Amino acid sequence: MTAQNGFASKKPNNNHQNEYLFDINLLESIFQDYSLRDSKLCRNIYDGKYIVRPLGKSDFDQGYIDLLRQLTECGTITYDDYEKRFNELKESSNTYYTLIIQDKNVDQRIVGSATLVCEKKFIRQCGTRGRIEDVVVDDRCRGQQLGKVLVDLLTQFARDKCDCYKISLECKDHLVNFYQKFGYKHEDQQNYLCRRFIT
Ligand code: 16G
């Protein structure tokens, strides 16, 4: 797999090297399986237009936070804030896996992102639970199935690379059908409860 067909298999060849949140090599076999399984989708999506890779430290400059603003409030985030949080996530090894999709043509903009969080537990034979978080695709890139690729890849990654015994997510009503297509479903007698704090 190469950057030409969508998977950035090595660091980008620009002046400042991008530091990734997690080891990009972990994605290779997942991406390969996925390309074989859904070659039409991969060809349509990646043919020279997009790259899929882990979040990088320099993605702040490629509009990463502005993309997240399409999902929810982000407040004011400076580069120092971003870098500090990026380092914290990276130091929590084997926990945070943020995948991004970068548009190779339009200003190298980040146009899609989703995160897998792996929570280590004692239960389930010291099992790992996965959560899919902060799935967002740029409004201007809708209809190209970028969200499908992100959720598919992270779901497969959680199962095959992180050995998650389950993976869950929260979403708005209108997105339930979308996530059901990937096998996510309401579990009997389980509810999502939330308490918010004013920060
Ligand atoms: C959605 C997201 C969740 C995100 C939240 C932000 C997915 C599958 N779900 O529920 O990950 O954290 O929105 O909303 O992407 P909030 O700012 O109101 O918590």
Q: Is residue 196 a part of any domain in this protein?
A: no
Q: How many domains does the chain have?
A: 1
Q: Is residue 120 a part of any domain in this protein?
A: yes
pTM summary value: 0.91
Q: Is residue 194 a part of any domain in this protein?
A: no
Q: How do the pLDDT tens digits run along the chain, 199 residues long?
A: 344 446 665 544 444 578 999 999 999 888 888 777 777 767 656 666 888 999 999 999 999 999 999 999 999 999 999 999 999 999 999 999 999 999 988 789 999 999 999 999 999 999 999 999 999 999 999 988 899 999 999 999 999 999 999 999 999 999 999 999 999 999 999 999 999 998 7
Q: Nearest-CA neighbor of 98 among 165, 182, 20, 4?
A: 20
- Ligand 1 atom with the smallest distance to the CA of 172 is 10
**CB distance 137 to ligand 1 below 6 Å:** no
Q: Is residue 199 a part of any domain in this protein?
A: no
Question: 135 C-alpha to center of ligand 1: Å?
Answer: 8
**CB distance 135 to ligand 1 below 6 Å:** yes
d(CA 92, CA 123): 20
Look up the CATH number of the domain holding residue 49: 3.40.630.30
Range of the domain at 101: 2-180
Q: Is residue 186 a part of any domain in this protein?
A: no
Question: 133 C-alpha to center of ligand 1: Å?
Answer: 6
Q: Is residue 134 a part of any domain in this protein?
A: yes
Q: Is residue 16 a part of any domain in this protein?
A: yes
